[in-house]
Structure 1
């Protein structure tokens, strides 16, 4: 089996600002970025490649990934997707979750993602920790290749004791979906009580629906001043509030320091099926959030499971959708799936700058626009100064 190969010097790379550069790495950190041609005898010649911070996935569901074909759920309905998943989850084994999650994580690594935060359902019925146990095993197996954070996703009908048990079993973060509860605010405080008592980070599915309950403001007020990292995924309802109400909630989010994670592919797929004319965007208001100074990231969310039948396991797909659906610039979109995602996840900032972790993506492209537009498959992925994935393609055309 191939092993990671450490590299110390990279030459001839194009940076996102168009400069050509040589890079020196020591002990997993970038120690120098020099003008191209400054170094000789490089470990890796990156001529023809764009060198970028590696991508990070702040909102995945590795326990659900790649289950679409086995479930064949109804399309375009969040609650129907939940029901379809729960029906399947009642019969699945820990080994099934582990195999699918590992396959999906490695696909993401090959595309350039070196850090993943995955929500994992705390299941109903017997053995509620099957998913958590599977992801703890995958995290250990891939420890040398990926950073994996596990969020214990406790739905409103999951007993608090089972959420606590998931944290004891190795989950890192409290998660849930309070907007689905009969009393959303009560469930929100239930989850936050656990996080406060345990002193762990929080990452909640929040207000996922064009007309969902609005819990984000209460979340921000309750956790203002907390030391631990906090984030809110989806926030679709925030994008449908009138401007005054939206900006009031955003101001509270910024003051509290909650990071917002948009999930364009799944929410564009799931939301708005009942609107036959002028179908609304099912996505958090990225531009308004960025303009207000909110911590902002974006993730792929579901990949080929009951909540989304598609997905390429590639953060460049998420970036492309942010440009098309959220009207971000290409540079802003790439930040959201790389350095912005790492910041929201509480990880050290990566980038092609001295002092940063050497988590890098070298992709065969001449510019960031070309990389996001074409998503070339030819990529080298570097984590902590070692090559952990290398994809090369060939093409033949019968032209004169």
Structure 2
């Protein structure tokens, strides 16, 4: 048993939180007391830990090794292909673990990572990520998605089934890049159904309005009654459809209970380069999807690799972009990196409430808005009630020179205003 004292919740309440057996036992009004061994969270906001619904840990931290010479999606794919031979098991494990450490320190305790299987990589990266998943099981939840190449009607479809047999948690793929996009969606759905696992597809990662496999996905899920969780990541082309199409597809997505993952960092970087005037945002149709009742989560996608050469691995950076580019309220943006991705990944909800698993993050701020806006690196992270990361920050700033009151003179423009002011 332990107590977290004087924490501010995102709702603005000042509370004490008791943790027992990896869960929140009780939440009471703050008493202002602090006993030995208890954690003082005065001046800090406490919230559910963050969830990364879409990562690429096998590619993470390769930007300097694999420059994207065209800056677009195909350039990024080519850059990774150029270094495929250097991506050994040990290299993938080392970079993936470095990325997890970065994200865990910033409050992310659950990660879904896509991993390339088949083609020149074979099952090498999958084996590395499965090893990482098992090694980090006590510190972070990691789900592995088998991301296969195309065409899915050929060897890629067989690679997908093999990857699921060898330990991948989720069926994945990129149907919009397939010669037969609609058929590719069906192949992925069949493979997932046979294996009894969820499906998470890179969907319509393009501004081409003629590609809309999201609609195909929703139709198939509804028609077949697919019983497992389905996630559509990216869904960029939905944003360039007319309003009626957006609404119709969004309603189908909501009816099919397909979760959509918006990926602002990577999509803003890769998309729109052939639109030098009125460049599209490269983000899915967030508002129509939410208005239709669909689950919309947000993720960081790529961490300093050819698909996105910068980024901190911080869910609050993603949430801030959902405010700026997705026009979400700060409260909804925080939901997009906490509650919504938990739903998308099939994880139990986490609230600052009794009975919930104590997956938490605290950072200095007077309220949730400041926590999001300032995004201090100083954070304490709990997984199942145990502190798994603690970052402290110390800042020293030189004092300005002392003012000599006799030497301070009003600005001339200010002087005129002052002289005309009432005595």
**TM-score bin, normalised by smaller chain:** over 0.9
1:202 aligns with 2:199: yes
Counterpart CA distance in 1 for 2:4 and 2:69 is 49
Count of residues in correspondence between the two structures: 393
Q: Which residue does 1:128 correspond to in 2?
A: 122
Deviation sequence 1:195-224 (CA, Å, 0-9, x none)? 111111000000001116110111011112
Q: Which has the larger radius of gyration?
A: 2
1:147 aligns with 2:144: no
Q: Which residue does 1:215 correspond to in 2?
A: 213
Q: Which residue does 1:35 correspond to in 2?
A: 29
TM-score using structure 1 length: 0.96
* 8 Å contact from structure 2 (residues 118, 156) kept in 1: no
Shift of the alpha carbon at 1:26?
Answer: 1.3
Q: Which residue does 1:4 correspond to in 2?
A: none
Q: Which residue does 2:235 correspond to in 1?
A: 235
* 8 Å contact from structure 2 (residues 357, 384) kept in 1: yes
Counterpart CA distance in 2 for 1:292 and 1:38 is 44
Equivalent residues in 2 for 1:78-157, closer than 5 Å: 78-125=73-120, 128-157=122-151
Shift of the alpha carbon at 1:75?
Answer: 4.1
TM-score using structure 2 length: 0.91
1:386 aligns with 2:381: no
Counterpart CA distance in 2 for 1:182 and 1:90 is 26
* 8 Å contact from structure 1 (residues 359, 383) kept in 2: yes
Deviation sequence 1:360-396 (CA, Å, 0-9, x none)? 0001111111111111011000000000000001011
Q: Which residue does 1:3 correspond to in 2?
A: none
Counterpart CA distance in 1 for 2:358 and 2:135 is 21
Counterpart CA distance in 2 for 1:345 and 1:269 is 25
1:354 aligns with 2:354: yes
Counterpart CA distance in 2 for 1:151 and 1:334 is 24
* 8 Å contact from structure 2 (residues 251, 289) kept in 1: no
Equivalent residues in 2 for 1:8-27, closer than 5 Å: 8-27=2-21
Divergent runs of 4+, >6 A: none
**What is the RMSD of the two structures over their aligned residues, measured on CA atoms?**
1.3
Q: Which runs of 5+ in 1 are unaligned?
A: 1-6
Q: Which runs of 5+ in 2 are unaligned?
A: 401-423
Deviation sequence 1:311-342 (CA, Å, 0-9, x none)? 10000000000000010000000000011111
* 8 Å contact from structure 1 (residues 155, 178) kept in 2: no
Shift of the alpha carbon at 1:123?
Answer: 3.4
Deviation sequence 1:280-322 (CA, Å, 0-9, x none)? 1100111221111101101000111110101100000000000
Distance verdict in 2 for CA 1:38–1:366, change over 3 Å? closer
